A and B are shown apart, each in its own frame.
Chain A
Amino acid sequence: MAQEHAQNLPIPQSQIYNQKLSMKIGVLALQGAFIEHISILRRLGAEAVEVRLPLDLVGLDGLIIPGGESTTIGKLAVMYDLMEPLQTFAQTKPLWGTCAGMIFMAKDIGMDQPLLGVMDIAVERNAFGRQVDSFEIDLDIPAFHNNGQAKGTSLYHAIFIRAPKLVAVRGNAAVIATLPDGTAVAARQGTMLVTSFHPELTDDTRFHQYFLEMVAETAKERG
């Protein structure tokens, strides 16, 4: 039990890697599991900062919208004039939404709540049921087939909590992960990434590395 707990919480200082990456990633810190994302980003050598106000977006190379309650995050984003700055940010810089973040980035969720509407996806909230239906499962992620070979497997252990699912992926958006029954649970559209599940709750850093690679590519293209 002790180990199961430990995986869920901020990584002890002693385990932070010494390597430094020259990128600064923001994590939207209006509400939710933002500290978990920041811990992993720092462990991977990136600079990570909390974003609560439009001014906090200045100088960032990428942004993560964490898991939390999408209604709460949306309302606070509206109250503090973050909607337009976030939409503008998404046009040029990489953006990754996990769970609530995925809902917030979608064009269509079939419910009335504030959305950034930057990604050509339709999302259904609480698509797997209530909390008693929350689950964890191993996923086969094709994008990781050439990565993480050291562990001898590309299976990715994903945590779904009152999770949403992708019900439509349109235009340039493409599905990058599905459940064994074919349900779409992660997608990418250019510099935008969404996951129904919570990579910030595991010790497997591959999704964060994948996002940091997107950030590095985008920075390179910008010159």
Chain B
Amino acid sequence: MSTNGKVNSEVGSLKVKIGLAQMLKGGVIMDVVTPEQAVIAETAGAVAVMALERVPADIRADGGVARMSDPGMIREIIASVSIPVMAKARIGHFVEAQILEAIGVDYIDESEVLTPADEEHHIYKHNFKVPFVCGCRNLGEALRRIGEGAAMIRTKGEAGTGDVVEAVRHARTVFGEIRRLQLMPDEELMTFAKQIGAPYALVKETKELGRLPVVNFAAGGIATPADAALMMQIGVDGVFVGSGIFKSGDPALRARAIVQATTHYNNPEILAKISENLGEPMVGISAKSLPDNEQLAVRGW
């Protein structure tokens, strides 16, 4: 562990990594592809932006290999806003992560939306000072990522579809498994850890806390204020909105509405008001209609 020359001081500790995610709670993290979009997101009240070259809907449409974005373009976005900037590295591509850390990105998303660089291993995230967020579809996957050093989790959903069904499935799966774990006597924990392929210590800690040991956002398919509020009521700490904003008819208006919906998620009168006259949502594709080889959520091991 490094120090910054101050007394009893530590930089980039697990606590400050998890702590930044705690500061993002109750907020919306928006995908942006230009500095102009980043400013629109910040003006709408986003808590952070995800800088990338193509939103997931375009990655889907274009096909081919999706990689880390141009560092020059990420730097321009960093320079254009005062809120934290996140960027995506391919699963297992620790050199892309080193590059993103070097340019001062605030959070790295080791993301299934990009084409995986390693089909067996994820990045060893404890080696970095920059914190990581990783996707999951269930409790075992979440705790494996936390074991590797992820300081924040997002349920994956199915990115670039505008269909919230997979986000709901993954969040319900994680919360359902935690509820089951809380009722489990201690002698059953080791076998449960073995069954879900998760580190025992983290299974035990999750039981004691009654929640994941790090902040848990929802992602993948959120396209409306009602979608965001749905995920918040199901129990996530905040939401990522990828294609849902800048693939819609009026991005600034929709972004502002989704920010408000994430704060006032429990107030149907406010939700009704902010959902009015938002213009066209992103067109979307039903997650069910996707052939197996076009599903992104299954990437991750």
Contact = CB atoms under 8 A, between A and B. Distances in A.
Contact of B106 (A9, A29, A34, A131): A131
Interface stretch (A72-80, A89-97, A141-149, A212-220): A72-80
Contacts of B9: 135-138
5 contacts: A31-B262, A72-B45, A72-B47, A76-B260, A161-B20
A133 B259 contact: no
Contacts of B45: 71-72, 75-76
Given A4-B15, A68-B25, A132-B106, 4 more contacts: A34-B26, A75-B259, A134-B17, A201-B22
A45 B88 CA distance: 43
Given A126-B82, A132-B129, A179-B6, A4 B26 contact: no
Contacts of A160: 16
A195 to B, nearest CB: 14
For chain A, give the interface size range. 35 or more
A201 B131 CA distance: 17
The interface centre, meaning the residue of B15, B44, B106, B259 with most chain A CB atoms within 10 A of its CB, is: B15
Interface string B1-38: 00010111111111111111011111100000000000
A58 interface: no
B25 A35 contact: yes
B205 A136 contact: no
Contacts of A100: 23
A69 B6 contact: no
Interface in A37-76: 52, 67-69, 71-72, 75-76
A118 to B, nearest CB: 21
A79 B260 contact: yes
B83 interface: yes
Interface in A102-155: 111, 125-126, 130-138, 155
A131 B11 contact: no
B25 A162 contact: no
Given A31-B27, A198-B19, A181 B201 contact: no
B177 interface: no
Contacts of B130: 131-132
Interface stretch (B111-119, B157-165, B206-214): B206-214
A71 B83 contact: yes
Interface residues of B, number: 55
Contact of A137 (B6, B211, B262): B6
B225 to A, nearest CB: 13
Contacts of B22: 8, 33, 36, 67, 201
Interface string B99-111: 0010010110000
A47 B12 CA distance: 34
Contacts of A29: 26, 263
B204 interface: yes
Nearest to A29: B26
B13 to A, nearest CB: 6
A171 interface: no
Interface in B76-95: 82-84
A161 B263 contact: no
Given A5-B18, A126-B82, A131-B84, A32 B23 contact: yes
Contact of B213 (A6, A12, A137): A6
A30 interface: yes
A181 B82 CA distance: 25
A80 B190 CA distance: 49
A27 B16 CA distance: 22
Interface string B30-66: 0000000000001111111000000000000000000
B189 interface: no
Contact of B24 (A9, A34, A69, A180): A69
